[in-house]
Amino acid sequence: MSGGGFGARGATEEAVKNHRDSAGQVTLRMYDMKKPLIAAINGHAVGVGITMTLAMDVRIASEAAKKIGFVFNRRGIVPEGCSTYFLPRIVGISMASELMLTGRLFTAEEALGMGLVSRVVQPGELLPAARKLALEIADNTSPVSTALARQMLWKTLGEDHPMAAHILESRSLGHMFLSEDCKEGAMSFLEKRPARFRMKPSRDMPDFYPWWDERSFK
């Protein structure tokens, strides 16, 4: 579990009032990243060991991950790492409630069944599987298209109508239709060769990115 910056003893009222969870600060930065994030879970993932993965896009576990759990209530504290935001969006509110309110431990196979991880592999296959997936993205997709898709997936989760997705997709399509990467994607398909995308998220994102209001700590 996250240390959180102070222990129960010696914590002043002012320190508690101004405290910001360190695991949450990490996942908030993951949330706004342009690059896809893949978690490879090889062994126990309890407390922050699992919450830190929730802001990642894909989680792969090995059969060695026999103890996974959101055990905070059993230790007299509460969930951290923005996990009360992410977990219900991954596994649904009912399953998230069961996992967090009981604090029980579960296996990688159970995590697969509930959709918390996308696959379970042998321990020796875990890192190769994660790298293979990363290369599948890196070698075959436009980095700008992928960055936009990643943020559209995350940022529309809280919208109350698909119109929000329609607007974002339309604006993003308009940007990419006129791009060099779109021309390269079409030519590589016609010429039956791998695409060579040149655009970079560091310099070629559309002028409306980011489209969300940046949040500051209060």
pLDDT at 121: 98
121-134: pLDDT as tens digits: 999 999 999 999 99
pLDDT at 9: 54
- Domain 141-218 is of which CATH architecture? Orthogonal Bundle (1.10)
pLDDT at 216: 80
* For residue 1, pLDDT beyond 60: no
Percentage, residues of the chain above pLDDT 90: 87
**pLDDT band, residue 14 (cuts 50/70/90):** confident
Within 8 A by CB and 6+ apart from 122, the residues are 62, 63
157-171: pLDDT as tens digits: 989 999 999 999 999
User: Which ranges of the chain would DSSP assign to H, the alpha helix?
Assistant: 13-18, 22-31, 48-51, 83-91, 93-102, 108-113, 126-140, 143-155, 163-177, 180-190
Mean per-residue pLDDT for 180-202?
A: 97
46-83: pLDDT as tens digits: 999 999 999 999 999 999 999 999 999 999 999 999 99
pLDDT at 13: 76
Q: Please report the sign of the dihedral spanned by the C-alpha atoms of residue 172, residue 174, residue 180, residue 186.
A: positive
Homologous superfamily, domain 13-126? 2-enoyl-CoA Hydratase; Chain A, domain 1 (3.90.226.10)
Q: How is the chain split into domains, by residue range? A: 13-126, 141-218
Q: Please report the sign of the dihedral spanned by the C-alpha atoms of residue 5, residue 45, residue 149, residue 191.
A: positive
